[in-house]
Structure 1
Amino acid sequence: MELQKNGRDNTMRTIKYDMQTAHKMERIALKLGRPQRLVFAQMVDYFHRSKKDPKDVNDELLKNTLLKQHRDYIGFIRTQENDLLIPIKREVDRMTRSQKNIVDFFNGQQKHNRVVLEVDREMLDGQKRLADTIKVALGSLDGISGSLASKESMKEQFRFILENYIRTRDGFGMMTSAMEKEELVRSTRKQIDLL
C-alpha cells in the first residue's frame, strides 16, 4: 500500500507484534482518540526527539532535568531576595526611622513654639501678630502630617507590591518558564519605580 505525501512516494511498512501488545496499542489509541498508525508514528517521533530509552521507566533524565531546574529556580529566588528585596526592606526601615526622628524633632519644636508664643502673647499687645504666628505653625504641622500620611501610603503600596511578588513567585511551579519569571521581576521593578 502506498501513500502520496507532498509529491513523494512513502512506502508503508509492517511491524509484527503479539496480541497483548496489540491490545495495549488499541487501548492507548482509544484513550487518546487517534488512529493507531498516528499514535505509533507519534511514539517513534517522541523517542527520536527526546533521545529516551523506552526501557527506562524511571526516566532518570527527566528527574535530573527537573531537579536541576528546581535548584536553578531556588537559586534565582535567593539571588533576587539578596539583591533586591532585602536591600529594599533595609532602605524602607531606614526611611521609617528617619521619618520618626523628624516627627519627634518637630513635636519637640512644637512644644517649644507653644511656650514662645505664650511669652510673645504676654509681651505683645497686638492680637494680629499672635494669630499670624499660630497660622504659620499650623501650616507647618499640616505639611508634616501630610508628609507622614504620604509615607504611610507609600509603605502600604510597597507592602502590596512585595506581597504580590511573593504570592506570584510561590504560585510558580517547577515547569514555569524563565520568561514568566523574568516578566514577574520586570513587573515588580516597574511597580516599585512608579512609587
Structure 2
Amino acid sequence: MSNKDGHTKTLRFSDALDEKFGKLAQKLNRSKLQLFGLMVEYFYKTKKDPADISDEMLKTSLAKNHDIYIRFIRTQEDTLLIPLKEEVDRMINNQREIVRYFNEQVVNANKAILTGQETQASRQKETDKLLQAVYSRIDTKEKLKAKFLVILTGYIKMREELGSFKNREKDELAETFRKQITDL
C-alpha cells in the first residue's frame, strides 16, 4: 500500500486470515487492496468497532423479533380483531334496525294518536252544536210555568165567557188548550 509520500506499507497476517480475506474479496468482486481500503473507510466513517460483531447480530435479532411480532399481530388480527370487528359491525347494524323499527312504531303511534285526537275534537264540536240546539229548544222550568199559566188563564177566561153554553163548544175549547199544552 502506498501513502501520501508514495511509500508502500506492508501488513502481515496469518494464512487462515489471508484465505478468508481472499474469499471475501472474490465474493464481493474486488481486489484484496480495494476491499481493505473499503473496510478501513467503513470503520472510519461509521466509527464502529470491528471487534463488536454483536451489532449485526442485534440487527438480525431485531429483524427476527420484528417478524415474530408481525406474525403475532397477524394471528391476533385473524383470531380476535377481524371477528371483533365483524361482531361490532353486526351490532351496529342491529342497533340501526332497532332505531328504524322504533322510529316507525313511534311515528305510526303518533299519527294514530293525532288522528284520534282530531276525530275526538270533531265529535266534541258536533256534540257542542247538538247541545246548543237542544238547549235552545228546551225552555227552562220557569218559562214553561209562565206559558202554562198563560194557557190556563186563557182557558179559564174563555170557559167563563161561554158560561152555560153548549157542552160541545166547551169540549172543543178544552181540546184546543190541551193541544197548546202538548205543543209546549
Where on the TM-score scale, by shorter chain, does this alignment land: which range? Answer: 0.3 to 0.5
Q: Which protein is bigger by CA-based radius of gyration?
A: 2
Q: Is the strand fraction higher in 1 or 2?
A: 1
TM-score (normalised: structure 1): 0.39
Greater length-normalized contact order (CA 8 Å, ≥ 6 residues apart): 1
